[in-house]
Chains A and B, each alone.
Chain A
Amino acid sequence: MGFGTIFFNPDVIAQYLPAILGALWVTVWLSVVITATGLVLGAALAALRTTGLRVLAWPVILFADLLRALPPLVLILILYFGLPSLGLTLPALAVLWIVLSLVLAAFAEEIFWAGITALPRGQWEAGAATGLGRPAVLAHIIFPQALRMGIPSLVNRALTISKTTALGSVIGVKEVVSVAGSAQSTSGSATPLTMAALAYLVILVPAMIASRRIERRFAYQP
């Protein structure tokens, strides 16, 4: 068997294309939902931390450190296989969504926080001196600037977490790697795995191009 028939067998492609395309769609919307949840949650956690209240800041720091330290796969396995023993059974999709959103939130919180602390005190003071309450200062002055500073790192994290949806294959989420993996074992051909790789390129290359646009769009002279 030649290289072509192993990795690019046209019959296998034709047979599994619909399944892979379906799985690609699952990966796309999972990535979008996880990215949205993670970024919003990360921003909210960073906002809590700006209050300077220890009771709020410490749990945030603990959460961020823990979730960044643990491999996502461990958390996925614990939630999926461990929780049912406590009488709580979550669908595989929900487990993947929760774990990856929390992991992204942990990184996003740190990125937002770094941006917030990098801003001069005068930005807070200018807002306060013009009668703006803390939430308004945060929403209109501090956060937009922290977001702009964090965009390259946030985009990077969002792309990484999108690829991490492949871990769903371990608990049977029908995303690209899972579907391609079973196609590979039934067909005995590596072609579905090639298709999986191409599927990721189809998703991530446009995402990378879009992210460059976003980075350029929000670059400004400080």
Chain B
Amino acid sequence: MTASPPPMLEIVALEKRFGDNTVLRAIDLKVTKGELVFVIGPSGSGKSTMLRCCNRLEEPTGGAILVEGQPMLGIPQRMLDQMRLKVGMVFQGFNLYPHMSVQRNVMLAQMKALKRPRAEAARRALQELERVGLAHKAEAMPGSLSGGQQQRVAIARALALDPRVMLFDEPTSALDPELVGSVLQAMRELRERGMTMLVVSHEMAFARAAADRVVFMDGGVIVEQGTPDEIFGAPKSERLRAFLSRVQGEAA
């Protein structure tokens, strides 16, 4: 047997309970380098919680999270801060810092967490903003940007830290429909550059077109996973069929 490199992100027997309420049960998931894995499922299925466990914004109650083979759990805070640099996160609500210019938003963690010199951080921020088409907004305050622009700044902010994996938590759910495209475009370009991505989203058309693998969650477990063709074309479980007919019914 040849030793293959560890997966970029590995979730092992993940469990999350809130009191008596188990929201995640025995979740196993591997995301290999350059892979785009899409997580779908009804609301309350635990998909966002699973994603938030990956960088410990939510504290798992059992199991393991490994990033490039290194554990995220059971490590001191200082090491967790270091590990979090490897895992970029994009939130549904953007979460830009409203009191800082767009460029400062992208510079902050570069300087304070990665300890990059200011000039280098500024240069890198402009470069990442350029990639998402927003270099001209560098001096603007986040409040003056559209939702789609804010989300692209948030993507630039995460990418400036050279993460190994990117987590997207419903990145387009808070956007007006006409602004969704620009964010999906930024994600598509990111994928073409070989970024490893785990995406929780309701953008089924995007999942079908861009995902390597689709994972269907319901009731805190992974019910089914496969290629987009398998999941959308030949769903095996009754629950997935029911879910797909619901969301496709909405789209029709």
Q: How large is the interface on A (under 10, 10 to 19, 20 to 34, 35 or more residues)?
A: 20 to 34
Closest partner residue, chain B, to A134 (CB atom) = B77
Residues in B with CB closer than 8 Å to A220 are: 98-99, 141, 143
Residues in A with CB closer than 8 Å to B144 are: 221
A130 pairs with B157, CB closer than 8 A: yes
A132 pairs with B93, CB closer than 8 A: no
Residue interface mask A29-46, B partner, CB < 8 A = 1: 000000000000000000
B91 contacts A by Cβ under 8 Å: yes
With A131-B85, A132-B112, A133-B81 known to touch, is A125 a contact of B98 (CB < 8 Å)? no
With A141-B97, A220-B141 known to touch, is A129 a contact of B112 (CB < 8 Å)? no
A131 pairs with B109, CB closer than 8 A: yes
A120 pairs with B93, CB closer than 8 A: yes
Closest partner residue, chain B, to A144 (CB atom) = B99
- How many angstroms between the C-alpha atoms of A141 and B104 in the bound complex? 11
- How many angstroms between the C-alpha atoms of A136 and B84 in the bound complex? 14
Residues in A with CB closer than 8 Å to B98 are: 145, 220-222
Closest partner residue, chain B, to A149 (CB atom) = B99
A157 contacts B by Cβ under 8 Å: no
A70, chain B: closest CB distance, angstroms: 35
Residues in B with CB closer than 8 Å to A140 are: 108, 112
Residues in A with CB closer than 8 Å to B154 are: 126
Residues in B with CB closer than 8 Å to A68 are: none
Residues in A with CB closer than 8 Å to B82 are: 131
B77 pairs with A133, CB closer than 8 A: yes
A122 pairs with B161, CB closer than 8 A: no
Closest partner residue, chain B, to A136 (CB atom) = B112
A78 contacts B by Cβ under 8 Å: no
A147, chain B: closest CB distance, angstroms: 9
B97 pairs with A129, CB closer than 8 A: no
- How many angstroms between the C-alpha atoms of A127 and B97 in the bound complex? 9
B158 contacts A by Cβ under 8 Å: yes
A125 pairs with B97, CB closer than 8 A: no
Residues in A with CB closer than 8 Å to B57 are: 125, 128-129
| Cβ contacts A to B, 26 pairs, < 8 Å | A122-B93, A123-B95, A126-B97, A126-B154, A129-B55, A129-B84, A129-B87, A130-B84, A130-B85, A130-B108, A130-B109, A130-B113, A131-B84, A131-B114, A132-B81, A133-B77, A133-B78, A133-B81, A136-B112, A136-B113, A140-B112, A220-B98, A220-B143, A221-B98, A221-B141, A221-B143
Query: Which A residues are within 8 Å of any B CB, using their own CB?
Result: 120, 122-123, 125-134, 136, 140-141, 144-145, 148, 220-222
Closest 5 CB pairs of A and B: A130-B109, A221-B143, A131-B113, A126-B95, A122-B95
11 additional A-B residue pairs with CB within 8 Å, beyond A125-B95, A129-B84, A140-B108 = A120-B95, A122-B91, A122-B93, A126-B91, A129-B55, A130-B85, A131-B81, A145-B97, A145-B99, A220-B143, A221-B141
